């Protein structure tokens, strides 16, 4: 059964992990030279790919962990370290620079994965399915996916309003929040591990 409070909490965590606002300028730089008529198709394919990967993580992520003999506490600890590292790295080196450096290895369209649904979002989704039922996590992810589509679709209109300084400020705030979620996950994992018989 869906509980609005649970959907809201999960949705906020997913929003922070996706960092949608700072994805827009990266998307614009990666698609420079692509015609305006082609960009909507690119956005659609990126969002569809992100949705498919997110669905897989939500549906079979925990089962996959069991097959590998990994507990949710192990994932929380590893995921928390990843989120903490990514958040810290984003504070020091902008996300755009980091993705631009890896773009050639990732492929021609790195927008859906790993920009929208990367390690941070995958970890968040799997951990959320342990705390909430899968329907709640799916309901929490859907509005974020729609928001991602709208932000990328209208990126050429949104970015001038925010400005470079505004976009960077929001990005740094999201990075700080990502680090906070990482610390919370590490604390929760350590509590579970230390209290285990």
Q: What percent of the chain has pLDDT over 90?
A: 26
Dump pLDDT digits (tens) for 7-26.
999 999 999 888 887 778 77
The mean per-residue pLDDT over the stretch 62-77 comes to 84
The band of 150, judged by pLDDT with boundaries at 50, 70 and 90, is very high
- Environment class of 129 (CB within 10 Å of its CB; exposed 0-12, middle 13-18, buried 19+): buried
More confident residue, 51 or 39: 51
Assigned token pair, 35: 């015609």
Parse the chain into domains and list their residue ranges. Answer: 38-190
* Residue 178 clears pLDDT 80, i.e. is over it: no
The band of 154, judged by pLDDT with boundaries at 50, 70 and 90, is very high
């Amino acid at each position: 059964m869906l509980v609005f409070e649970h959907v809201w909490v999960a949705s906020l965590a997913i929003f922070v992990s996706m960092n949608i606002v700072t994805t827009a300028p990266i998307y614009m730089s990666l698609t420079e030279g692509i015609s305006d008529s082609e960009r909507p198709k690119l956005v659609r394919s990126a969002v569809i790919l992100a949705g498919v990967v997110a669905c897989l993580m939500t549906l079979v992520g925990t089962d996959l962990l069991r097959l590998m003999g990994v507990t949710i506490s192990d994932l929380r600890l590893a995921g928390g370290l990843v989120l903490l590292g990514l958040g810290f790295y984003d504070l020091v080196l902008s996300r755009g620079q980091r993705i631009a450096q890896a773009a050639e290895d990732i492929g021609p369209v790195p927008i859906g994965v790993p920009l929208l649904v990367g390690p941070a979002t995958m970890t968040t989704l799997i951990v959320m399915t342990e705390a909430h039922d899968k329907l709640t996590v799916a309901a929490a992810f859907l509005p974020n996916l729609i928001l991602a589509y709208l932000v990328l679709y209208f990126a050429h209109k949104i970015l001038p309003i925010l400005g470079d300084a505004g976009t960077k400020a929001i990005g740094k705030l999201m990075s700080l929040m990502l680090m906070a979620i990482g610390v919370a996950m590490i604390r929760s994992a350590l509590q579970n591990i230390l209290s285990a018989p």
